[in-house]
Structure 1
C-alpha cells in the first residue's frame, strides 16, 4: 500500500492537480457603456486560492486598458468594487473607467 503512495508518477500527477486547483482560473466580461458619456464598466472573476482577488482585479484592469488602447487612448479608473474574500470561492472585481487621449 505504501509503495503506491511513493510511486513517482502518482506523486507528479497529484502535485500537478494541486497546482491547477490552486492556480484557478479567471474570466472577464464584456466592456459595457454606462449612462455617463465616456464611462464604461467591466467585470472579472477568478477562483482558486487566496490570491483570486488579485487575479480578478488584474483581469479587470487589463481589459479596461486594452479597450482604451484599441481606441488609441489610455484608461483612467474611476472606481472599483470587489467581492469574495474566502479561499476557494469566486472573487470578483468590477471597475468603472474612462478613456482619455494619450499625452
Structure 2
C-alpha cells in the first residue's frame, strides 16, 4: 500500500474516532420551570466532554431563544469506556437576563 493510501486511511480512522455529539429535544422536567437537555457522543477519550458541551449548548440555546439565560443544575452522565457511548443529561432553568 502506498504512503498516500496509508495516510488517507489513518485520517479516515481518526475522523471516525473523533466523532461528534448529538442532542435530543429539550423537554420539561417534573418541576415547573425546569427543563432537561440531553446529548450523547461516541469515539475517543473525550466523548464525555463533547456530550457535556452539546447538552450545555442545547440548554443555553433553548433559554436564549426565549430571551433568557440558562441556569444549569444537576448533570447526570453515563459511559466510562473510551469507545462506548457517553451521555450527558442536564437539568436547567431559564431566568431573566440581569
Is the shorter-chain TM-score for this pair beyond 0.5, marking a shared fold?
Answer: yes
Distance 1:43 1:54 in 2: 13
1:54 equivalent in alignment to 2:54: no
Q: Following the alignment from structure 1 to structure 2, what is the Cα–Cα distance between the partners of residues 28 and 95?
A: 11
* Aligned mates of 1:21, 1:49 — CA distance in 2: 9
Cα RMSD of the aligned pairs, angstroms, is 0.9
* 1:13-44 deviations in Å (ceiling 9; x for gaps): 21211211221121000000112111000110
Q: Decide which of 81, 90, 94 is 1:95's aligned counterpart.
A: 90
TM-score (normalised: structure 1) = 0.90
Structure with the greater alpha carbon radius of gyration: 1
| Structure 2 residue aligned with 1:16 | 11
5+ unaligned residues in a row in structure 2: which ranges? Answer: none
TM-score normalised by the chain length of structure 2: 0.95
Does 2:38 correspond to 1:35? no
Partner of 1:71: 66
Taking the aligned partners of 2:29 and 2:90, their CA distance within structure 1 comes to: 12
Q: After the TM superposition, list the runs of 4 or more consecutive aligned residues in structure 1 that deviate by more than 4 angstroms.
A: none
